[in-house]
Amino acid sequence: MIKSCFNIVLVLNIVLIVHFASADIYLHNPRGSNNRLDEAGRARNTATRLFDSQNNNRGGYNVGSLYYYTGSILPIEWTNQHSCGDINSHCEIVLQYACGDDIRDGTTTNRIPADRSRCLDNNCQTDPTYGLQESYEHYLMCTRRQRNGGLYTADQRLRGDTARFTRQNPGGTQYGYECPEERDYYPYWHHSPWRDIAILTNDPTRCSFYKTESANVKDRFECRLPVEQLESNRGLTLPSNESECMKLPGAKWTRQPAWGIDSPVCRTAETTRDNHLGNTAQGKAVMFNWTVPDHLAGEKCVLRVRYNISTGDYDRWSTFAEHNNGGPVEFYKKFGFASKAAADARGFKLVNNPQVQLFGDSSKFKLQLNINTAQFGRVFQDRSHVFHVRARPSSIPSSAEILNLNVRGKRGNIVQVYPAVEYDFVPHLTHAKPGSYVHPQWTGSNTNPANNDGQGLAGTDRSNMLPLHDLAANIPDTNYSQGRNWTLNNGIGDWPLSDLTNLALLSPQPQLGGSMQLLNDAGTYFDLGARRVTNAGSWSFVCTRNNNFSNRSHKGRLVCSSDRSDTHVVDGQAYTFKVTDGTKTLAEVTVPAGAFSSLRYLQLRVTPHSAKAAKTDSDSVYGDTWFTDLLRIDVDGQAGEAFATPLLVSMVTNDGADPTEGHDVQVYRMETEFSSAVSHHGPLKSAEATRVEFRVDRPGVYAARGFANAPFGFVGLIVGLLVAALLISLIVAGIIVHRRNPEFFAEKLRFVQRSTQSKV
Ligand SMILES: *[C@@H]1O[C@H](CO)[C@@H](O)[C@H](O)[C@H]1NC(C)=O
Ligand SMILES: *[C@@H]1O[C@H](CO)[C@@H](O)[C@H](O)[C@H]1NC(C)=O
Ligand SMILES: *[C@@H]1O[C@H](CO)[C@@H](O)[C@H](O)[C@H]1NC(C)=O
Ligand SMILES: *[C@@H]1O[C@H](CO)[C@@H](O)[C@H](O)[C@H]1NC(C)=O
Ligand SMILES: *[C@@H]1O[C@H](CO)[C@@H](O)[C@H](O)[C@H]1NC(C)=O
Ligand SMILES: *[C@@H]1O[C@H](CO)[C@@H](O)[C@H](O)[C@H]1NC(C)=O
Ligand SMILES: *[C@@H]1O[C@H](CO)[C@@H](O)[C@H](O)[C@H]1NC(C)=O
């Protein structure tokens, strides 16, 4: 009995550890390279080309560049293998970008040399042959700077003392110009060319730390010597602290100013499961909506995603160099041993593949654990190829959202492309508002493995986009093929016929005949440009070349709705969200810290009150004046449940409705926008001529309504009506009595006079 329990524990342990060694991350949009360039092999040629991914060699997509407008929303999608956002491991996902004039994809799959004499004009920084994502100087400084001696390296023997050598890279292998110490640790303490977008973590209590320590907002310092001096003096080591730096002749303790941009977003990671390159627990693609910052206009950039998973066997934030060789000192306590020696003797120490003797003397057998201390706590990574950022065209108002609509995946069946993915549109479902701009753009490749399944010329991928009646269908809209007129909601986005034919035939770059049935003679790259979606509607679309029911699905959908609706990911932190109609803020919802205990999807939607009035019998609604529209607050996975702390809502009042003037305004709650069951929710917290504020304690639909000329409020009105009714009936009764017996009141009056007199 005991033995079988033991086996289960051990098996679990071993399983857990094995997967540490293969928990990869693959970026799907923008296309992650996993160090590929354009090689036709299923595996990448050079795992060291640009960066240390520690991923499976088969991942990645071939090079292809897109551009994004500033202010546009880029859906960043990836898959990570060993779960995040659940209790199976500690995890952080760190999203960053770097830009620069010399950043390039290169033309060879070889790694850029560290020795610049091997590059064109003795200058690797500018040699167009080699891909470059970090600078020559960044790598040079890294290879000469003293490593941080306080870091926990377990029992790994680092073969050098500079930042090139880490627990995860003890041999100091060169990966492009990436600095291994900077790669493995975040936030990094010296200069890094990477600017932060977001940190998604299991432990949101660390968010305030990430937000204040991010190089976006905090200066960094490092010891610097001129490049020539470092190159000519190979034995030199740059100290990593100021006092030592000052002692080195010619060296300067140099400030790298903060990037001067917003702190990164930081929140709980969505739940993904182990051993599965898949979706979140909600069945959505693992993703982050990145708004491309305005300050990137005109830049060439790359995107980087790191996936950091750490074991729960030791405290990762307080285990340092003094715990090296044998594991953290607390290990013996944690496993119930009297001393470190006793724990060591039974194999309970953090070394490679220890053999543990669980039952002490009663049973001598040992079982080996699969531990690689270089990977017990490990960072995986993927990066995009180069992309370009263009300023938002002046024809697109700055208040309008621009939604990127791209294609992910590559040619092949699901087994052939794995761990990359088959084709899909990204996002699969685009949510636009009237006035939003949608920017369809994608790229393919001519050098996929020649034997991968797919339509069209072997080894190539191309994509197009044609209207489809509904997503379950596979044959494009016949109205197009019959050459009929496009009518409302018929062609994608209600865009003009020219756009629709361009999306179908990958023009306007003229495709001069040739084999176009399968788009073989079209180029890999296609850009429609940003197109306005003016009308509400829902459009499905299909890629005729790649969609092959039931073998492969390449479809997507665009929904444009005048409901002003947004979905936000929230956790236990404080947030403020706005619902806008594209130009003005209709509602603002403040979520106090602690309102939610774990990750939730908070949906906010504003529906005009006129839409309700049109659909509902207005008699069933209390009050007589709409002060606001209807705000719907939905929480996935928490339907109807009260918030731990009420949310504060601020809504604009309807034109001309001033709640401070002669009205009693109250807040009402409905289950849905159009349900007639309306309940009184509570009074306003505060009101101004243009805005009302109130608190809500659970999901539902809320609106403020008023009673003209009812100074005592809703309850007051009822009481007032009752009092009035009572008074009227008394008066009526009095009149009747008086008519029948005119002496009645005179007698009563005399009686009152007598009784008061008798008391005197
Ligand atoms: C990964 O987690 C470790 C703790 O286990 C931490 O020291 C390191 O800075 C993290 N690295 C990244 C890139 O997040
Ligand atoms: C600075 O670094 C040196 C080694 O490079 C170390 O001996 C010294 O203690 C460090 N000083 C501080 C203040 O950290
Ligand atoms: C990204 O934006 C889309 C469209 O607004 C939304 O449906 C989705 O939930 C968002 N995803 C995340 C993770 O924020
Ligand atoms: C559809 O896909 C299957 C499997 O990849 C392939 O055998 C078939 O030829 C494809 N159909 C067309 C019309 O290309
Ligand atoms: C084609 O468009 C017309 C309107 O022009 C519409 O009535 C008809 O239903 C459409 N055809 C199909 C197959 O949906
Ligand atoms: C298509 O329909 C629209 C709206 O009904 C009309 O204005 C336009 O002239 C039509 N175009 C053609 C080519 O029939
Ligand atoms: C789908 O693929 C199978 C083989 O994988 C093939 O037999 C079948 O014909 C394909 N379907 C189509 C529509 O091509």
Token look-up 């995603």 returns: 305
Any idea how long the chain is?
Answer: 760
Q: Check pocket membership of 489 for ligand 5, CB cut-off 6 A.
A: no
Does residue 756 register a pLDDT over 50? no
What total of structural domains would you count in the chain? 5
My answer on whether 591 and 542 are in the same domain is: no
- The verdict on whether omega for the bond into residue 427 sits within 30 degrees of 0, i.e. cis, is yes
pLDDT of residue 201: 97
pLDDT of residue 371: 92
Measure 551 CA to ligand 7 centroid, in angstroms. Answer: 6
My answer on whether 38 and 93 are in the same domain is: yes
Within a domain: 152: yes
Measure 280 CA to ligand 7 centroid, in angstroms. Answer: 30
Ligand 2 atom index nearest CA of 242: 1
Does residue 460 register a pLDDT over 60? yes
Within a domain: 6: no
Residues 341/378, Cβ–Cβ less than 8 Å: no
525: tokens are 């790259």
Within a domain: 497: yes
Ligand nearest to the CA of 476: 5
Ligand 4 atom index nearest CA of 455: 14
pLDDT of residue 721: 65
Question: What's the mean pLDDT in 592-617?
Answer: 87
Token look-up 């529906």 returns: 607
Q: Check pocket membership of 479 for ligand 5, CB cut-off 6 A.
A: yes
Does residue 753 register a pLDDT over 70? no
Nearest CA to ligand 5 atom 1: 479
Residues 464/547, Cβ–Cβ less than 8 Å: no
If you write DSSP's letter for every residue of 21-33 in order, what string do you get?
A: TT--EEEEETTB-
If you write DSSP's letter for every residue of 286-328 in order, what string do you get?
A: -EEEEE--GGGTT-EEEEEEEEEEE-SSS-TTS-BGGGTTB--
My answer on whether 367 and 382 are in the same domain is: no
Give residues with Cβ within 8 angstroms of 281, minimum separation 6.
270, 271, 272, 273
Amino acid at 292: V
Ligand 3 is surrounded, with C-beta below 6 A, by 287-289, 431, 567, 569
Measure 494 CA to ligand 6 centroid, in angstroms. Answer: 12
Measure 241 CA to ligand 1 centroid, in angstroms. Answer: 21
pLDDT of residue 679: 82
Mean pLDDT of the chain: 88
pLDDT of residue 481: 44
Q: If DSSP codes are grouped into helix, strand and coil, which group holds residue 118?
A: helix
Measure 180 CA to ligand 4 centroid, in angstroms. Answer: 45
Q: By residue range, what is the domain housing residue 362?
A: 321-375
Running DSSP on this structure, what letter comes out for residue 146?
B
Amino acid at 52: D
Nearest CA to ligand 3 atom 7: 567
Q: Residue 442 pairs with which residues in a beta bridge?
A: 526
Distance CA 249, CA 247 (A): 6
Question: How many other CB atoms sit within 10 Å of the CB of residue 581?
Answer: 16
pLDDT of residue 755: 45
If you write DSSP's letter for every residue of 527-560 in order, what string do you get?
A: E---EEE-S-EEEEEE-TTT-BTTTB--EEEEEE
Distance CA 358, CA 366 (A): 7
Domain stops at, among 560, 594, 618: 560
Instruction: Report strand pairing: 429-432 vs 555-560.
Output: parallel
503: tokens are 């999306």
Q: If DSSP codes are grouped into helix, strand and coil, which group holds residue 94?
A: strand
Domain stops at, among 708, 728, 744: 708
Question: What's the mean pLDDT in 741-758?
Answer: 55
Question: What's the mean pLDDT in 203-210?
Answer: 96
Ligand 7 atom index nearest CA of 549: 13
Distances (CA, A) of 729 to 255, 719, 722: 86, 15, 11
Tens digits of residue pLDDT in 93-112: 999 999 999 999 999 999 99
Distance CA 561, CA 611 (A): 14
If you write DSSP's letter for every residue of 435-467 in order, what string do you get?
A: TEEEEEEE--BS-S-TTS--SSSTT-B----EE
Within a domain: 643: yes
Residues 251/245, Cβ–Cβ less than 8 Å: yes
Within a domain: 474: yes
In the Cβ-directed half-sphere of 135, how many Cα atoms lie within 13 Å?
A: 13
Convert 554-615 into a string of H (helix), E (strand) and C (coil). CEEEEEECCCEEEEEEECCCCEEEEEECCCCEEEEEEECCCCCCCCEEEEEEEECHHHHHHH
My answer on whether 555 and 577 are in the same domain is: no
My answer on whether 497 and 416 are in the same domain is: yes
pLDDT of residue 743: 67
My answer on whether 598 and 677 are in the same domain is: yes
Backbone angles phi, psi at 713, to 5 degrees: 85, -175
My answer on whether 573 and 609 are in the same domain is: yes
Ligand 7 test: best mutation among 551, 552, 553, 554, most atoms within 8 Å of CB? 551
Q: How confident is the model at residue 658 (pLDDT cuts 50, 70, 90)?
A: confident
My answer on whether 198 and 303 are in the same domain is: yes
Instruction: Report strand pairing: 272-274 vs 367-368.
Output: unpaired
pLDDT of residue 626: 86
My answer on whether 549 and 571 are in the same domain is: no
Within a domain: 19: no
pLDDT of residue 757: 47
Measure 492 CA to ligand 5 centroid, in angstroms. Answer: 14
CATH code of residue 453: 2.60.40.420
Q: Check pocket membership of 148 for ligand 2, CB cut-off 6 A.
A: no
Ligand 7 atom index nearest CA of 551: 1
pLDDT of residue 144: 96
Q: If DSSP codes are grouped into helix, strand and coil, which group holds residue 91?
A: strand
Token look-up 């995946």 returns: 409
Question: What's the mean pLDDT in 293-315?
Answer: 96
Ligand 1 atom index nearest CA of 183: 13
Sign of CA dihedral 573, 579, 582, 586: negative
Nearest CA to ligand 1 atom 14: 186
Ligand 7 atom index nearest CA of 413: 5
pLDDT of residue 5: 35
Domain stops at, among 339, 357, 390: 390
pLDDT of residue 609: 87
Ligand 4 is surrounded, with C-beta below 6 A, by 413, 453, 455, 548, 551
Within a domain: 14: no
My answer on whether 602 and 489 are in the same domain is: no
Amino acid at 262: D
Task: Provide the whole-model pTM.
Answer: 0.87
Question: What's the mean pLDDT in 471-475?
Answer: 91
Nearest CA to ligand 7 atom 9: 551
Measure 185 CA to ligand 1 centroid, in angstroms. Answer: 5
Q: If DSSP codes are grouped into helix, strand and coil, which group holds residue 659?
A: coil
My answer on whether 173 and 289 are in the same domain is: yes
Q: How confident is the model at residue 64 (pLDDT cuts 50, 70, 90)?
A: very high
Ligand 5 atom index nearest CA of 487: 5
pLDDT of residue 23: 66
What percent of the chain is modeled with pLDDT above 70? 87
My answer on whether 247 and 150 are in the same domain is: yes
Amino acid at 324: N
Residues 208/216, Cβ–Cβ less than 8 Å: no
Within a domain: 363: yes
pLDDT of residue 718: 61
Measure 549 CA to ligand 7 centroid, in angstroms. Answer: 8
Tens digits of residue pLDDT in 213-265: 999 999 999 999 999 999 999 889 999 999 999 999 999 999 999 999 999 99
Let me know if 707 is exposed, middle or buried by CB neighbors in 10 A (0-12, 13-18, 19+): buried
Inter-axis angle of helices 743-759 and 713-740, nearest 10: 100
501: tokens are 């034919």
Between 640 and 597, the more confident residue is 597
Distance CA 688, CA 468 (A): 49
Does residue 319 register a pLDDT over 80? yes
Does residue 697 register a pLDDT over 90? yes
pLDDT of residue 699: 95
Does residue 619 register a pLDDT over 60? no
Instruction: Report strand pairing: 272-274 vs 82-84.
Output: antiparallel
Backbone angles phi, psi at 160, to 5 degrees: 180, 170
